[in-house]
Amino acid sequence: MSEISRLKSQINTRFSLGGFQIRSEASAFLAQQLELLDVTERKKWITNVANHVQGQCLRLPVVEKQHIELAIKEANHTGLDDTETIFRVISAFDVPSFVYCEEKKKFLPDTSKKNLLAVPEAKSKYICERYRLLWQKTCRHETFSRRTAPGSDAIGKKNGLILRKVENILSSSKMNDVVLLGLLTQLTEGRYYLEDPTGSVPIDISTANFSAGLFCEGCFLLAYGKYRDGVLKVDEVGFPFPELAANSRAFFGSVNSWGGPSKTLLKHSRNLAELEKANVEHNIVFLSDCWLDNPAVMEKLNHLLRGYDEFPPVAIVLMGPFTRTNENVYSLKPLFLKLGEMLSECEKLISQTDLVIVPSIDDPAAANILPRPPIPDALIEGLKNRFPRTILTSNPCRLQYCTQQIVVCRADLVTKLCRNTIHFPKEGLLEEHFARTIVNQSTLAPLTPIAFPTHWNYDAALSLYPLPDLIVIGDPCQGFHITEQDCTVMNVGSFPKSKFAFKVYYPSSKTVEDSQIPDEK
């Protein structure tokens, strides 16, 4: 066998392992390019080229010569690509949507057209997609896999359990050791049900043992108990099991599941990883409840901006509401102009820092529904003229700093979960229960549409799957930060109500610094 033929065989084998069929012309071309290299370098290049081809997101699993040429060109490129941005803000309306394919056991891009005025079927569709997402990751957990092992949760301590669907138990008059994954609902007043795409079953949770978390209508539960006479008598209640982001990403392939112009996920960029590691002092500042109509807030903001002008951060994220009262929409225009005048005196901030404006649901001019669009340009024109690096974005939004993924949401989410929970925990810290709830539910909105209105077609913007590196919540309650499943969950708190406290995030070390502007003596 000639050297070219041997190389072509290795190339065909490698691409076959990735699920591709490579044309003879393409494999011959690649073999000719690698012929003069030693054996070790050949293997590296074949793997590298195959990875770049996978990142091209081909419509058909057939590799042509032009695909190989493009992959070699990309592999030879040094430095940052145009799409390898150090910092980028991604609007909620630009977040890619994916659906889980049962046959292929992976997530595929959802190419359907979306608009804010959704058809009625969209409501059931987004809830079903949430269910499929949670179902597939729960089935992979060791509790329900063949190699069953004890888990940390109460439900996970029982061996040999089978995760069932509602239709499986409705066909029986009684059943023991039932484990159901379903949506907690009240189909009739005063009566709780667990619902999944196959049906619904009434549940009795009067004597159930609840695991840690805030359990509300509209969230998905794992319930363990006995089925008798048409009712599931629940003994133990928990959330769907969490999953590390690295494990979740394996089911998306190399496509960009985060958002932005890059075809591949920047989480895997070596260039950005090196920059992130080297810039240990780079940080992002977060503030919430920035009342520009409050003189005390403006004074402290001025103090903060002048202080950071000496050591500019990567970005300053200001979350609304930007007025304490919403009597007049156009009252915001002179207030942002005044903020722009303050920023115009900070020369280093102007050249080195991005100012990200995240509106709350109380800011003009949008409905009380998430995700909500940015504040209109007409109201921020004065600020943008004086500070060109102002970025108007949606609520929620996504940030990308090097390889770090950050979700920002200005909502009274902690308050709403506490207010709507059917079982308030008696032990543990509130921040632990909150972080566990949103991480295990894999969404920012584990509530009913009545308690937490959302645009059905844009549920992907609220998704926390795979888990980001940082989740930033702007709730007026006391600020905190906690780590859950290698994901930092942070509540900024209210800037004016917390004696002008704010949070600073250092991506290189993944640490959060609690900061406060002291009173002047």
Percent helix, strand, coil in the chain (nearest 5)? 35, 25, 40
Q: Which amino acid is at 248?
A: S
Q: How far is CA 131 from the centre of its chain?
A: 17
What are residue 46's phi and psi, to 5 degrees?
Answer: -60, -45
Q: What is the mean pLDDT of residues 9-22?
A: 87
- 250, 437 contact by CB (below 8 A): no
Q: What is the mean pLDDT of residues 335-351?
A: 96
Reply yes or no on whether the pLDDT at 80 is more than 60: no
CB-based contacts of 518: which residues, under 8 Å, 6+ apart?
Answer: none
- What end-to-end distance do the CA atoms of the chain give, in Å? 85
What are residue 118's phi and psi, to 5 degrees?
Answer: -80, 150
326, 322, 325: which is closest to 383 by C-alpha? Answer: 322
pLDDT in tens, 202-232: 999 999 999 999 999 999 999 999 999 899 9
Q: What percent of the chain has pLDDT over 90?
A: 70
Reply yes or no on whether the pLDDT at 469 is more than 50: yes
Half-sphere exposure of 158 (CA within 13 A, CB side): 14
Q: Which amino acid is at 176?
A: N
Angle at CA of residue 115, ends 114 and 121, nearest 5° = 75
pLDDT in tens, 445-466: 999 999 999 999 999 999 999 9
Reply yes or no on whether the pLDDT at 418 is more than 90: yes
Domains parsed from the chain with CATH numbers: 3-76 (1.10.8.60)
Q: Supply the DSSP string of 95-161, one letter for each residue.
A: ---EEEETTTTEEEE------SS--THHHHHHHHHHHHHHHHHHHHSTTTSSS----SSSGGGSSS-
β-pair partners for 395: 372
Res 451: pLDDT? 95
261, 266, 262: which is closest to 249 by C-alpha? Answer: 266
pLDDT in tens, 32-60: 888 888 888 888 888 888 888 877 767 77
> Is residue 410 within a helix (H) or strand (E), and if so which, with residue range?
none
Q: What is the pTM of this model?
A: 0.86
Distance CA(381)–CA(82), nearest Å, equals 28
